[in-house]
Structure formats: structure tokens, C-alpha cells
Amino acid sequence: NAGVMQNPRHLVRRRGQEARLRCSPMKGHSHVYWYRQLPEEGLKFMVYLQKENIIDESGMPKERFSAEFPKEGPSILRIQQVVRGDSAAYFCASSHSESTGAYGYTFGSGTRLTVV
């Protein structure tokens, strides 16, 4: 049973370009969570999605950031017009259902975004 798969592992973008980060949850998991970790800082919650729905996006920056989790395919975190301050590790987690809560969280290995 494969774990949470994130790709790419490393992504380099020039300022102003778009970054697309993909997350495939564990098999059977229908809940996806995105976190950002700036260099030398802690993990910050960004957004919680279920299939085709955004449940909680209270941690998402108001501009340039969007997330989706379509009926088919991986969850996508999209960052438009990237700036140097977007350079960070982005982690995705998945869980099976609401009842499992934090216990059911499995994290991926992350995508390291570098904006040059």
C-alpha cells in the first residue's frame, strides 16, 4: 500500500512563474491536507480538502494560492506568480475519514520549492 505520494520532490521556478504541486493520497483516503514549512520554521496548515470540495482554507494566502482535489486524480496546490518568499517545503497529508482525525494522518515526503 503506497503512502502519500508528492511530486515533484524538488521544484525550481523563476519569479513570476507558476508552481503546481501534486499530492496523491493513500489508497482509500478521501481527505487531503496541505502544509507549508518555511526554512527554519514550523509547519503551517494551509488547506483541507475532500473530493471536489474545499473544507477549510483558513491557512491559505488570499492571493496567488489555490488548491483543488478533483474527483479523479491527485490534489493540486497551485501557486501563481511565485515570489522568493514562497520558497519552502510543502507537505501533503491524507486521512481516511473524518472520524480518524489526526490519528489517520499520513504525510508525504514533501515538495521543496525554490524560487530564483
Residues that bind another protein (CB under 8 A): 4, 31, 33, 35, 42-45, 48, 55-56, 59, 89, 91, 93, 95, 98-103, 105-110
Shortest CB 114 distance to another protein, Å: 14
Nearer to another protein by C-beta: 27 or 44? Answer: 44
Nearer to another protein by C-beta: 64 or 104? Answer: 104
Bridge partners, residue 11, by sequence: 113
Shortest CB 13 distance to another protein, Å: 20
Q: How far apart are CA 24 and CA 108, in angstroms?
A: 9
Q: Which of 26, 27, 21, 77 is nearest to 49 (CA)?
A: 77
Nearer to another protein by C-beta: 13 or 31? Answer: 31
Question: DSSP states of 45-112 as a string?
Answer: EEEEEETTEEEE-TTS-SSSEEEE--SSS-EEEEE-S--GGG-EEEEEEEES-GGGGGGG-EE---EE
Nearer to another protein by C-beta: 16 or 61? Answer: 61
Task: Count the residues in the chain.
Answer: 116
Shortest CB 115 distance to another protein, Å: 18
Shortest CB 16 distance to another protein, Å: 27
